[in-house]
Amino acid sequence: MVAELMDGKAVARRIREDVIGRLAALKEKGVTPGLAAVLVGDNPASQIYVNSKAKACEKLGFYSQVIRRSADICESELKGIVTALNDDDRIHGILVQSPLPSHIDELSVTLTINPDKDVDGFHPYNVGMMLINRPTLLPCTPYGIVKMLEHYAIDPAGREVVVVGRSNIVGKPVAVLLLQKAAMANATVTVAHSRTPNLAEVCRRADILIAAMGRARTITADMVKEGAVVVDVGQNRVDDPGSEKGYRLVGDVDFDGVSKRASFITPVPGGVGPMTIAMLMSNTVTATERITAHKV
C-alpha cells in the first residue's frame, strides 16, 4: 500500500475561496476584516509565522497590523497593547504570538483579549464553548485538521482516533472536536503522550492517528495499523548539511516508512501547516461577521 497524500496547500486554497466569497459580502457593507498580530522578541519561528499571517492578510485584502516589541517588554505594557486593540474598531481579530518571554504570564495576556476577537481560539471562554459544543472561534490547527479530513471524505464517526500529544494548542482541542456529537466527529478518542506506557500498542489501535507531540519521526511504521489515516502535525528542524539553510523540516512521523502502511498521510511541510493559516483567515472573517452583526 502507498498512502494518498493529503495536500494541505490544495485544501487551504478551497478554504480561501470560501473566505473570498464571505469577504466580498462584508465589503459590500463597507466592512474590511482587520487582524492584528503582536510579536514579542525575536524568536525566528515566531517571526516566520507572523510574516506568513501578514502576507495572507495582504493577499486577501484584509486590514493588517503587526506590532513588534522587544523581549524585555513588561506584562502590563503588553496587556495595554491588547486592550487598545480590543477597543480599535478596525481590528476584528487579535493574536499574540507564542511563546512569550518567561517573565510574562501567557494566560493573563490571553485573558485580556476580547473573546470575540480571539481568532486563535485560546481564550478560556472560547475553549469552554468548544468543550460544550457551542458556536465559537475554534483553535486554528485542530479546526484545520477536521476540515482536511472533511475534504478527503474521511468521516471520523465510529472510528477509533488516537491523538499523540496533549498540548492546549493541538492535542486536547482536536480530541474534543472529534469526540463531539456532531458532523465530522462522533469518534472514539484516545489521547496518548510521552508518559503513555505501550505507546506503540495504543497507536496501532488507531483508524485515524494524529501525531502532535513535537518530536521528530517518533511515529514509526511498526506503530501504525495497515490502512490507517495519519495526520502529522509536527514541524521539527533537523540538521541537513546539504540544504541551503543547513536544516530541513520533518514531522513527528517517519514519513518514508509510515507512508507504505497508511491509506492517507499528510506531508511535512505542505500538510497541516497551510491549513493553520487558512483557518486563521476564516476565523478572522467569522469574527468580523459576528462583531459587525452586533452593531447593526
Residues carrying an active site annotation: 53, 97, 120
Q: Are 126 and 115 in contact (CB under 8 A)?
A: yes
Longest Cα–Cα distance in the chain: 58
Q: Which residues contact 58 (CB under 8 A, 6 or more apart)?
A: 64
Calculate the CA 88 to chain-centre distance. Answer: 25
Q: Which residues contact 214 (CB under 8 A, 6 or more apart)?
A: 165, 167, 234, 236, 252
- Other C-beta atoms closer than 10 Å to the C-beta of 228 total 24
Dihedral angle sign, alpha carbons of residues 168, 294, 67, 18: positive
Give me 162's grid cell.
488516537
Closest CA to 113 of 134, 141, 136, 92: 92
